[in-house]
Chains A and B, each alone.
Chain A
Amino acid sequence: MPRDFTKVIEKIDLIAEKVYNDLKSSEIPHLKLPTRTKTNIRFDEKLNVWKYGGNTTERSAKSLDGAYMMLRTMYMVDFIKDMIKANKSSTLREMYYISEGWDLAKFHSQPESDSLAEDLEVITSCMREDFKLRPEEDGARVIGNFTLEEMTRNKTKKKIHCQDDVGDSGYTIPYNVEPEKITFKGADADFILAVETGGMFDRLVENGFDKQHRAIIVHLKGQPARSTRRFIKRLHDEKKLPVLVFTDCDPWSYRIFGSVAYGAIKTAHISEYLATPAAQYLGVTPSDIENYKLPTDKLSKEDIHALKSELSDPRFQDRFWKHEIKLQLSLGKKSEQQALAKYGLDYVTDTYLPEKLAEMGMLKK
């Protein structure tokens, strides 16, 4: 059944009305939205995730940049309204190319238009999906002993068992993972292991880790897409499975964990949909570098800067992170998950992961 978009249209029109009324009453048009930077995210005790705080930024047509922004906003909401009316949808990339025809309002790069789409979500408290916009990111993969039901293009429901019905590359997570598209059926696993790199995902699959240790393995593919995070969160909530995150040992990987567990700065307005506050970081930790004598690289200037910036990031304020980040700064080193291959291809599945899981109370030694 087709979705009802009247609410969305109302909210979009509200933006146009605000600008129009400003002009009508001789005010310089301006829009307020929460400041979307690190300094303005606060921990929401009720939801257990990080959300934007009370600071707001004003977008005003008083400056040239501000006026351009305002004009682009007008063009974008108009475009979204047209899409809703025509019952179409587009990818963010397609929208960026369409904006090439917006004359004065065109963007200089896609990150600019992506970011404005996020702004609109923040202003209207709608989701990107409400605007009929979707990412082009090809979905991440998942493998494990559970069954889901997907609504296919021909509007038929199809049951998929994510071990038996899929190949070695697993089930591909679609961009829409809301209940209208995906429902979870039975699951017989002990935990979800979210893995940063494809190489490690394939290693675990080849070694049969999912079967041997009753794990659901999800490939994060670097900074995880919204759908991946939403998928993990739903699986965690609905199947009551603990989530463990396994990444490289560098500041960028910690941010991957941060976005899975607490929400990303860019999407803090929808953290409660995307984040899994109960997720735990498994490794590789700076302590592991020492304990397992892992091969390392020197921290670059950018790495050090990122680590220091994490020390002031509200998402990394607990004792574990403070201790590990400081340790890494003093070591001056970083390492990769695949560095564990130093001790052989089976070391990660036979030794490292079981030891770490036991340490975290997930497995009996």
Chain B
Amino acid sequence: MTEVEAIAHKLARQQKEISVAEFFERNKHILGFGNPTRSLLTSVKEGVDNVLDACEESGILPEIYVEIKNHEDGECRLIIEDNGPGIIKKQVPHIFGRLLYGSRFHAIRQSRGQQGIGISAVVLYSQLTTGKHAKITSKIQEDRPATVTELAIDTNRNRAEVISRAIVHWEKPSGTRLEVSIVADYKRGKRFVYDYLQSTSIVNPHAQITFKEPDGTEHLFERTSETIPKKPIEIKPHPQGIELGTLIKIAKGTKSRRLSSFLKSEFSSMGDRTTKAVCEKAQLDRGLDPKKMSREQFLTLHKAFKKVKIMAPSTDCLSPIGEILIKRSLKHQTQEISPEFIYTASRPTSVFSGSPFQIEVGIVYGGSLPKDKSVRLLRFANRVPLLYQQGDCVSTAAISSIDWRRYGFDQSSGKGIPSGPAIFFTHMSSTLIPFTSESKEAIADIPEIESEIKLAFRECARKVQSHIHKEVKRVKTREKFDLITKILPEIAKKSSDMLGKPVPSLDAVITKIMDVIWIEDLIECEKTSSKPVQATLFEDSSENIDGGWITKSTILVVNYKNMPQKFNLYALIPEDAVVGTVTPKPAKITSRYIKWNLDAIDPANKVDISFELAGLDKGDFDENDLYIENINASYVIGADKWEGE
């Protein structure tokens, strides 16, 4: 035996499988169990994320119950209960007692869970810190009993060790309940748990979450939407982002016998034409058996993917929240702040290395938010709040690189997180969130993502700015109302009295002082009676709306200029609204706006305009967005220039 061989043998004796316990011990900070404060939050988060995933997949409106019992010795009992689909008896030990076991790792679609480590890591952490068993109750069907399983993890074999199993009666139609004991710092961790649950509720308006504290206090995060997010469809991998190894692995497992059918059936966005183009570029025969291809052939194929123009992946696999729901739940969750307004913006789907993604942002402004502090950032990925590592996140970088001073915020040197009375909300949906680490707290700095976040915030900021602008203009004009209604008549009276002359008419002077077209609006909501909504121009308005709210918008236009004024008025409406009665007769109604060609309004005269919207919740439409056309926009208070569609 040569010396080298001897060393190799010696090394071989030391090489053995590392146990999961060791793996966990080494990686616990990466997995979010670095300290007792973090561990509490991570445990709650893993449980709650799973519930949301499971409910979404099975079309259930989630009801989540989180309870923490605090013991003196730094030990907490954590209970997470849901009304989800339940887990079959056979799977319970695998899911809770085995690391790297899950249903999502291989699926390309948007979900919270990605790795199949989450919940078993909580059980393992519990076992390592307290030595106690985990207790799982689960029920999968209304008319069947529930199973209670107590289990531990055999860390050498990475398998569950079932301690006991029992059949019990459980009220719930279906659901899962997990009880674990963990070493955690409740005092410090409490705030994070609360913030996490509140944030979760913002991005999951369809979920109802109850949080019970050790002292019995219950917090309820209410459901603000009854619609279950549309179930993201699983898609095949997109050729452009794929790694060579993955490509070879897929080829080994395919049922296709020809290269062309392999490409078409195993990948997304591969039609006949694209497939042909790829094969030609790679100079490979379309009839090749993918199972018998050489490494070199895969390499040329892999290269060809990058050279041929392939359509972006389909977006069915994403489940963005939607602007209306974001606004609604931000509003609900910021009630105490009573913000002045909330604006949102949503970008179209985009792609980074083969994965589709979409950015949604929102700005909550004013109310009791502090004016001189940095704005608060709320970051989310696939409806999961990101609470730590804000500084490393691409959203932070994107926000910091915008010059917010232009939009009325304070920001030293036009860089960094701005100050102002605002909360900035960012949500990224993607089939693959490029986290900076396994603890899933920050999104990596990828140029495509950064640029989308920036575009979204710019759009949102413009809305904020124009709102503030309009408000300033309105305040000024309101002052003029005071002037013409109170002060001017007094001046007239006093001067006439002194001279013993009759009080002159003030109409002409009033028009001169105001010198504007004043547009004022009011939005009211009322609960619908059963009477059908009257159909107008818009074909879809025959749609059946039962119960719910009717939003009524009234607009008053007064001509305070000294010439008759004739112009067109546009009122933007939310896309999913159904238009009811509109007066006067509009010139056009589309899914985005209502347009009126108003008759000439004489000086000191006014026009009343109104329209009704159905299919919205109370408060979804709380501010008119009005535009004018065929008139100098600087004459008009309360509407902006129409820039086309």
Q: Known: A23-B492, A71-B490, A104-B486. Is A78-B498 also a contact (CB below 8 A)? A: yes
CB-contacts of B484-517 with A (<8 A) = 486-488, 490-492, 494-499, 501, 504, 506, 508-509, 512-513
Q: Known: A20-B501, A105-B490. Is A27-B509 also a contact (CB below 8 A)? A: yes
Q: Which residues of A contact B497 (CB under 8 A)?
A: 78
Q: Flag if B499 contacts A23 (CB, 8 Å).
A: no
Q: Flag if A20 contacts B508 (CB, 8 Å).
A: no
CA A67 – CA B494 in complex, angstroms? 13
Q: Which residues of B contact A67 (CB under 8 A)?
A: 483, 487-488, 491
A81 CB-CB contact with B under 8 Å: yes
CA A24 – CA B492 in complex, angstroms? 9
Q: Which residues of A contact B513 (CB under 8 A)?
A: 28, 61-62
A341 CB-CB contact with B under 8 Å: no
Q: Flag if A61 contacts B483 (CB, 8 Å).
A: yes
Q: Known: A20-B499, A26-B509. Is A61-B491 also a contact (CB below 8 A)? A: yes
Partner pick for B495 among A63, A74, A81, CB 8 A cutoff: A74
B231 CB-CB contact with A under 8 Å: no
CB-contacts of A41-94 with B (<8 A) = 61-64, 67-68, 70-71, 74-75, 77-78, 81
Q: Known: A61-B487, A105-B490. Is A28-B482 also a contact (CB below 8 A)? A: no
B606 CB-CB contact with A under 8 Å: no
Q: Which residues of A contact B480 (CB under 8 A)?
A: 64
B575 CB-CB contact with A under 8 Å: no
Q: Flag if A19 contacts B495 (CB, 8 Å).
A: yes
CA A19 – CA B489 in complex, angstroms? 12
Q: Flag if B494 contacts A23 (CB, 8 Å).
A: no
Q: Flag if A74 contacts B512 (CB, 8 Å).
A: no
Q: Flag if B494 contacts A78 (CB, 8 Å).
A: yes
CA A31 – CA B375 in complex, angstroms? 48
Partner pick for A16 among B495, B504, B509, CB 8 A cutoff: B495
A130 CB-CB contact with B under 8 Å: no
Q: Which residues of A contact B508 (CB under 8 A)?
A: 26
A13 CB-CB contact with B under 8 Å: yes
Q: Flag if A23 contacts B495 (CB, 8 Å).
A: yes
Q: Flag if B509 contacts A71 (CB, 8 Å).
A: no
Partner pick for B491 among A24, A63, A71, A81, CB 8 A cutoff: A71
CA A23 – CA B509 in complex, angstroms? 7
- Min CB gap B187→A, angstroms: 50
Q: Flag if B498 contacts A77 (CB, 8 Å).
A: yes
Q: Flag if A28 contacts B509 (CB, 8 Å).
A: yes
Contact with B along A175-215 (1 / 0, CB 8 A): 00000000000000000000000000000000000000000
Q: Flag if A20 contacts B488 (CB, 8 Å).
A: no
Q: Flag if A19 contacts B509 (CB, 8 Å).
A: no
A346 CB-CB contact with B under 8 Å: no
Q: Known: A13-B499, A16-B495, A77-B498. Is A23-B490 also a contact (CB below 8 A)? A: no
- Min CB gap B515→A, angstroms: 9
- Min CB gap B489→A, angstroms: 10
Q: Flag if B498 contacts A26 (CB, 8 Å).
A: no
A139 CB-CB contact with B under 8 Å: no
CA A264 – CA B148 in complex, angstroms? 95
- Min CB gap A90→B, angstroms: 19
Partner pick for A75 among B482, B486, B494, B501, CB 8 A cutoff: B494
Contact residues on B (Cβ < 8 Å of other chain), bracket: 20 to 34
Q: Which residues of B contact A224 (CB under 8 A)?
A: none
Q: Flag if A19 contacts B491 (CB, 8 Å).
A: yes
Q: Flag if A64 contacts B499 (CB, 8 Å).
A: no
B643 CB-CB contact with A under 8 Å: no
Contact with B along A10-22 (1 / 0, CB 8 A): 0001001101101
CA A104 – CA B483 in complex, angstroms? 11
CA A63 – CA B506 in complex, angstroms? 16
CA A17 – CA B500 in complex, angstroms? 11
What is the chain A residue whose CB lies nearest that of B496?
A20
CB-contacts of B589-620 with A (<8 A) = none
What is the chain B residue whose CB lies nearest that of A62?
B513
- Min CB gap A29→B, angstroms: 6
Partner pick for B479 among A19, A22, A64, A81, CB 8 A cutoff: A64
Which of A16, A20, A62 has the most chain B CB atoms inside 10 A of its CB?
A20
Contact with A along B456-484 (1 / 0, CB 8 A): 00000000000000000000000110110
Q: Which residues of B contact A17 (CB under 8 A)?
A: 495, 499
CA A177 – CA B480 in complex, angstroms? 46
Q: Which residues of B contact A26 (CB under 8 A)?
A: 508-509, 512
Contact with B along A26-43 (1 / 0, CB 8 A): 111100000000000000
CA A104 – CA B490 in complex, angstroms? 9
Q: Known: A74-B495, A78-B494. Is A104-B506 also a contact (CB below 8 A)? A: no
Q: Known: A61-B483, A62-B513. Is A20-B490 also a contact (CB below 8 A)? A: no
Q: Known: A23-B504, A28-B512. Is A71-B479 also a contact (CB below 8 A)? A: no
CA A24 – CA B506 in complex, angstroms? 8
Q: Which residues of B contact A28 (CB under 8 A)?
A: 509, 512-513
CA A176 – CA B557 in complex, angstroms? 59
- Min CB gap A225→B, angstroms: 31
Q: Flag if B509 contacts A74 (CB, 8 Å).
A: no
Q: Which residues of B contact A71 (CB under 8 A)?
A: 487, 490-491, 494
Q: Which residues of B contact A23 (CB under 8 A)?
A: 491-492, 495, 504, 506, 509
CA A64 – CA B513 in complex, angstroms? 10
CA A278 – CA B498 in complex, angstroms? 44
Q: Known: A61-B487, A61-B491. Is A16-B499 also a contact (CB below 8 A)? A: yes
CA A181 – CA B483 in complex, angstroms? 45
Q: Flag if A70 contacts B479 (CB, 8 Å).
A: no
CA A20 – CA B506 in complex, angstroms? 11
Q: Which residues of B contact A68 (CB under 8 A)?
A: 487
Partner pick for B498 among A24, A61, A81, CB 8 A cutoff: A81
CA A19 – CA B508 in complex, angstroms? 15
CA A67 – CA B484 in complex, angstroms? 9
CA A215 – CA B356 in complex, angstroms? 98
Q: Flag if A64 contacts B490 (CB, 8 Å).
A: no
Q: Flag if A16 contacts B498 (CB, 8 Å).
A: yes
Q: Flag if A64 contacts B492 (CB, 8 Å).
A: no
- Min CB gap B25→A, angstroms: 64
Which of A16, A23, A62, A63 has the most chain B CB atoms inside 10 A of its CB?
A23
Q: Which residues of A contact B501 (CB under 8 A)?
A: 20
Contact with A along B504-532 (1 / 0, CB 8 A): 10101100110000000000000000000
Q: Which residues of B contact A81 (CB under 8 A)?
A: 498
CA A278 – CA B499 in complex, angstroms? 45
Q: Known: A62-B513, A71-B490, A78-B494. Is A24-B504 also a contact (CB below 8 A)? A: yes
What is the chain A residue whose CB lies nearest that of B498?
A16
Q: Which residues of A contact B486 (CB under 8 A)?
A: 104
Contact with B along A139-171 (1 / 0, CB 8 A): 000000000000000000000000000000000
What is the chain B residue whose CB lies nearest that of A73?
B491
Q: Which residues of A contact B504 (CB under 8 A)?
A: 20, 23-24
Q: Which residues of B contact A19 (CB under 8 A)?
A: 491, 495
Q: Which residues of A contact B487 (CB under 8 A)?
A: 61, 64, 67-68, 70-71, 104
Q: Flag if B495 contacts A20 (CB, 8 Å).
A: yes
CA A26 – CA B509 in complex, angstroms? 5
Q: Flag if A74 contacts B499 (CB, 8 Å).
A: no
Q: Which residues of B contact A64 (CB under 8 A)?
A: 479-480, 482-483, 487
Give 22 pairs: A residue, B residue, CB < 8 Å, sorted on A.
A13-B498, A16-B498, A19-B491, A20-B492, A20-B496, A20-B504, A23-B491, A23-B492, A23-B509, A27-B512, A28-B509, A61-B488, A61-B513, A64-B479, A64-B487, A67-B483, A70-B487, A71-B491, A74-B495, A75-B494, A78-B494, A105-B490
- Contacts beyond the supplied A16-B498, A19-B495: 12 A-B pairs with Cβ under 8 Å: A16-B499, A24-B504, A26-B512, A28-B512, A28-B513, A29-B509, A61-B483, A70-B491, A74-B490, A74-B494, A74-B498, A81-B498
9 interchain residue pairs of minimum CB distance: A26-B508, A74-B494, A20-B495, A16-B498, A64-B479, A67-B487, A19-B495, A24-B504, A16-B495
Binding site for B on A (CB under 8 A): 13, 16-17, 19-20, 22-24, 26-29, 61-64, 67-68, 70-71, 74-75, 77-78, 81, 104-105
